[in-house]
Chains A and B, each alone.
Chain A
Amino acid sequence: MHAPDGFLNLGTAVATGAISAGAVGASLRQTGQTLKEKQIPLAGVSAAFIFAAQMFNFPVAAGTTGHLLGGALAAVLLGPSMGALVVTVVVVVQAIAFADGGLTALGYNVLNMAIVTAFGGWVVFRLTRRVLPATINGISAAAGLAALVSVVLSSMAFSVQWLFGATFAVDFATVFGAMVSVHLLIGVGEGVITMLAVRAVLAVRPDLVAGADGLDLDTAEVRPMRALTIGGIVVAFVVSMVVAQFAVDAPDGLERVAEDTGFIASAEDHALDSFIFADYATAGIENETLSLAIAGATGTIVTLAVGTGLFMAVRRREDEPLDHQPVG
């Protein structure tokens, strides 16, 4: 996601830069006095944690790995304003000190990777917390769902910026469809890791989790995994139906979808992408509309199957008794 210079046009860069600066200013005011005096070292070390978490490779499938973006994780742990500030600092330092991401691209990189993920993730997190119990499982499930949605929101934000700022003509619908469907899969990984990480923190130091207000440690845990699974499926359904719709509307045929998904794969250096790409490409059918619809549907089903499988697998492992662990 660290877009280089010249990826979108200058107007978009300036406009997104202004939005990002405004959001950062608002976050600074929000965190205000507490941050100024007391918490700068804490914020700094947390930023180092998010930076390190982005180096934290987790397995995705068949030995390929992905890494965290961490925006929603930061928001849940530190609160939305502080989380957004911390991830903003990470993104800006990556551009300036590590030449990762362009300088003129800072506007949209910060917006997509820090602002949208932290605040968008926080909104989803609060909304989900209303329906889930205030237990460790409930809160970490809400965090996981927030992380999943935050990644998708980030890709949507990028697609919209593309609509305004593409330096050349590629159809908006195909960009949107490809970006969002790929990030739905990335988001599943982000969601699972965020959920488990928040859970690990809650188990030891629940006082450190900003989003854990009202945590109830006394109530016996009911498994909220079902709620998370259902929530995840609903989100996946809604988003993929939108995506499929865009894919069906696209005028130029399956070849385009395939190449499009392929181009996202190269943009993201995320090994999982080649996998969904393959699924799209297999539906080689003459009729353009039909094949597109099938491609979209395949994407939906694959996404759902993978997502559901992951949730179930996670749940199954948690149910395993401890004495299954190797001894010695």
Chain B
Amino acid sequence: MGAGHSHPLHVHGHSAVHRLAPEAKVVAVFAFVFGVALTPREAFWAFALDAVALAVVAAVAKVPARFVLTRATVVAPFLGLALLLPFVADGPRTEVLGVAVAVEGLWGAWAIAARALLGVTASILLAATTEIPDVLKGFERLRVPPVLTQIAAFMLRYLEVVAGELGRMRTAMTARGYDPRWLWQAKPIAAGAGALFIRSYERGERVHAAMLARGWNGTMPELRGAPATTADWTRATLLPLVSLTAALAAALIART
């Protein structure tokens, strides 16, 4: 566990966004993404507004744009899927650059791409400005059962350990000339997975025994910062306010 407890998406900083109470940020991001999901797909301007709002948050938080964009490649497979939609969807067709494509598919592709990109960017900004234990604390304050947040906390704490063990097993197998190319050569990998489970489980037992010895009574002591103040909530509302208002306005415009 010498390798630091931060996670790959966190960007260290002390900005106003970083300092915001985690539960306020979590609610804000969820509400923002819901606003994006509610936005009618014809309202290009509303999506643009949402993107600007996220850009402002990123600027305030001093999260580099390149960082956000490289991490956003997570949705690339789905964007690939979205690109294929115009060719497979039903309905009337139109010509784009001489190729017949379905109008519905074009709209679907645009909607998926826009919402997925805005959503993933919001998630990245949350992860970049909030340390994981804080996120979990925020969830606990939002009345998520502590059993779940504690499982998550243990998981994250031991993920590096287990992944490290996995890496060493992989290295050991490679060093012995194991280079599988077909599924029926997978037996050592599966046996390795079994061994990894036993080691993980036994580590869990040892950790549990050690915690009991140090007086653990089933709840984690409160070490994290104060709960959200009214000022926190007010500031956190700004982001979802943009997406929800834009969605509402777009819906009203579409109706008239």
Contact = CB atoms under 8 A, between A and B. Distances in A.
B88 A259 contact: yes
B119 A6 contact: yes
B191 interface: yes
Contact of A7 (B38, B72, B78): B78
A93 B155 contact: yes
Interface residues of B, number: 93
Given A7-B112, A97-B127, A262 B84 contact: yes
Question: Which of B88, B152, B153, B195 has the most C-beta atoms of chain A within 10 angstroms of its own C-beta?
Answer: B88
Given A4-B120, A204-B198, A266-B80, A98 B9 contact: yes
A208 B202 CA distance: 10
Contacts, number: 307
Interface string B68-84: 00011011011011001
B146 to A, nearest CB: 9
A196 B78 contact: no
A193 B38 CA distance: 41
- The size bracket of the interface on A is 35 or more
A260 B90 CA distance: 12
Contacts of A97: 7, 9, 127, 132, 135, 156
A198 B195 CA distance: 10
Question: Which of A166, A197, A267 has the most C-beta atoms of chain B within 10 angstroms of its own C-beta?
Answer: A197
Contacts of B89: 168-170
A37 interface: yes
A238 interface: no
Interface string B136-153: 000000000101101111
B45 interface: no
A235 B40 CA distance: 42
Contacts of A197: 190-191, 193-194, 197
Interface in B147-176: 147-148, 150-159, 161-163, 165-166
B194 A198 contact: yes
Interface string A301-328: 0000000001001101110000000100
Interface stretch (A100-108, A124-132, A220-228): A100-108
Contact of A60 (B77, B183, B190, B197): B183
Contacts of B81: 263, 266-267
Contacts of B24: none
A189 B90 contact: no
A5 B155 contact: no
Interface in B31-62: 33-34, 36-38, 41
B85 A35 contact: no
A6 B114 contact: yes
Interface string B117-128: 011101110110
B104 interface: yes
A134 interface: no
Contacts of B198: 201, 204-205, 208
Contacts of A44: 150-155, 157-158, 204
Contact of A53 (B8, B115, B154, B193): B193
A259 B187 contact: no
A239 interface: no
B207 interface: yes
A170 B33 contact: no
B87 interface: yes
Interface in A11-68: 13, 24, 28, 35-49, 51-53, 55-56, 58-63, 68
Interface stretch (A84-92, A151-159, A282-290): A84-92
Contacts of A5: 33, 36-37, 115-116, 118-120
A215 interface: no
Nearest to A174: B88
Contacts of A85: 147-148, 151
A267 B77 contact: yes
Given A6-B114, A10-B38, A197-B197, A104 B147 contact: no
Contacts of B112: 4, 6-7, 167
A51 to B, nearest CB: 6
Interface in A189-221: 189, 192-201, 203-205, 208
A99 B180 contact: no
B5 interface: no
Given A43-B151, A86-B151, A168-B111, 10 more contacts: A47-B154, A53-B196, A53-B197, A58-B189, A92-B152, A167-B111, A192-B184, A193-B193, A200-B194, A263-B88
27 contacts: A4-B75, A4-B115, A7-B115, A36-B147, A41-B208, A45-B154, A47-B154, A48-B155, A58-B183, A59-B186, A61-B181, A89-B152, A89-B155, A97-B7, A99-B71, A102-B123, A103-B122, A167-B112, A168-B108, A170-B105, A189-B186, A196-B190, A196-B194, A259-B84, A266-B81, A266-B84, A267-B81
